[in-house]
Amino acid sequence: MVLNSNDMVHLALLSFFKGLIVLGIMLFHAAYTVYAERKIIGRIQSRLGPREVGPYGLLQPLADLVKLLTKEDILPKEADRFLFKLAPLLLLVTTIVNLSVIPFYPDFIIADVHVGILVILAFAGLGVYGVILGGYASGSKYSLLGGLRSAAQMLSYEIPLTVSLAGVILAAESFRLGDIVEAQANSLFGMNLFPQVIGFLVFLICAFAETNRAPFDLPEAESELVAGYMTEYSGFRMGLFFLGEYISMYVMALLISLCYLGGWSLPPWMLSLLPILKEIPPVLILLVKVYFFIFLFIWVRATFPRYRFDQLMRLSWKVLIPLSFLNLLIVMFFKLLT
């Protein structure tokens, strides 16, 4: 676009406020997901979860924030000071930027770019540096091993994830997430889930591994690696890593809902069965799908035992990658038929 400087300032201000809104909502969500996680896991394990701070423990995230801010900030003796400080920033910033290409509503998107999915993949690739550098710079053996393992895990699960996304791109013939949702709404089943069940399952499993969540929280396996690449971090720096993890959970949940479940649209057959569903505002539909996946993340953490590292690698290279290619070939075959 060719714009004069006046329009440019207008655009900059508009996207600044949009960004502030999204960032605010996302931080609120991340904080309360921690609370929800503790509460739900508590219930599953027949405990009550947090209940001391405020009614039903609802002010717990605030108390956590105050605690993180007032904790001592320790820079270990052997640490590389610059890299040690850079690593959490890198991880958090690259995760937050992903939110700017995700449409939350047909018209609400911060940066409406042609190559949305590529932007997300590029910044996810840069996020790996945060993990490796955090492990490297700490100057602790647990950190280094945790960082290496985590990097190996993220690399091996990024391949099936991206290949299964290729199926989605093939179905919509576009990189823009808005176009992908629209293509699904116009398709036969109303969502990508049905022709691409394999791709959906592969993507779901990889989402758990990419966000370092249980059952793939190998880098943070307390019994072997203490806290992995986070071992030497304390106070707000650790909080940044933590926040990054929860925001990337939301990014993954949003991506699955948009790419496989039709985002803010409902399938046409469901609408023809129950016409009243048309009245639901689109953003609510998306929210329900996203909350379901967040609940799934928590549920799985409470239920599944952790994988061993060689099992983790075997799952990715021997099962998920061939399956994701199979999914791609099936989608290609269907596409050729029509």
Partner 1 sequence: MNPENYVPTEYLPLFIMLVLATLFAIGGLLLGAFIRPRFYYPEKLEPYECGNEPSGLPWQKIAIRYIPIAILFVVFDVEIAFLYLLGVSFSSISPLALGGAIFFIFLIILGFFYDLKKGYLEWTRF
Partner 2 sequence: MSVVRILFFYFAFVILLSAFMGLRQRSPVKALLWILLLFVHIGGLYLLLNAEVLAFLQIIIYAGAILVLYLIMLLILDVREEERSMLYLKNWQSRIWAGLLVSFFFILGSLTFVNKHRGEHTLDKLKEVGPSKILGRLLFEDFTFPLIILAFLLLVPLLGIGLLFVKRRQDGSA
Which residues inside 175-234 make contact with partner 1, applying CB under 8 A? 175, 226, 231-232
Distance CA 172, CA 179 (A): 7
309: contact with partner 2 by CB under 8 A = no
Which x/- pattern, by CB under 8 A, does the window 44-83 give for partner 2? ------------------------------------x-xx
* Per-residue mark of binding to partner 2, 133-172 (x: CB under 8 A): x--x-------x--xx--xx--x-----------------
The full 3-state SS of the chain, as one line of letters, equals: CCCCHHHHHHHHHHHHHHHHHHHHHHHHHHHHHHHHHHHHHHHHCCCCCCCCCCHHHCCHHHHHHHHHHHCCCCCCCCCCHHHHHHHHHHHHHHHHHHHHHCCCECCECCCCCCCHHHHHHHHHHHHHHHHHHHHHHCCCHHHHHHHHHHHHHHHHHHHHHHHHHHHHHHHHCCCCHHHHHHHHHCCCCCCCCCCCHHHHHHHHHHHHHHCCCCCCCHHHCHHHHCCHHHCCCCHHHHHHHHHHHHHHHHHHHHHHHHHHCCCCCCCHHHHHHCHHHHHCCHHHHHHHHHHHHHHHHHHHHHHCCCCCHHHHHHHHHHHHHHHHHHHHHHHHHHHHHC
Identify residues 278-337 at the interface with partner 1 (CB under 8 A): 309-310, 313-314, 317-318, 321-322, 325, 328, 332, 335
Contact with partner 1 (CB under 8 A): which of 34, 37, 84, 100? 100
Which of positions 150-179 make contact with partner 1 (CB under 8 A)?
151-152, 155-156, 158-159, 162-163, 166, 169-170, 173-175
Is residue 20 within the footprint of partner 1 (CB under 8 A)?
Answer: yes
Lookup: tokens for 215: 């059952």
Residue 83 contacts partner 1 per CB under 8 A: no
* Alpha carbons 62 and 80: distance in angstroms, whole number: 32
Is the CB of 81 or the CB of 308 nearer to partner 2?
A: 81
Rule CB under 8 A: choose which of 34, 97, 254, 266 binds partner 1: 97
Smallest separation (angstroms) from partner 2 to the CB of 324: 17
Among 41, 51, 108, 139, binds partner 1 (CB under 8 A): 139
Q: Is 332 in the site for partner 2 (CB under 8 A)?
A: no
Check binding of 115 to partner 2 (CB under 8 A). Answer: yes
Using CB under 8 A, pick the residue from 40, 42, 63, 112 that binds partner 1. 112
Q: Which of partner 2, partner 1, none sits in contact with 100, Cβ below 5 to 8 A by type? A: partner 1
Where do contacts with partner 2 occur on this chain (CB under 8 A)?
5, 8, 80, 82-83, 86, 113-115, 118-119, 121-122, 124-126, 128-129, 132-133, 136, 144, 147-148, 151-152, 155, 173-175
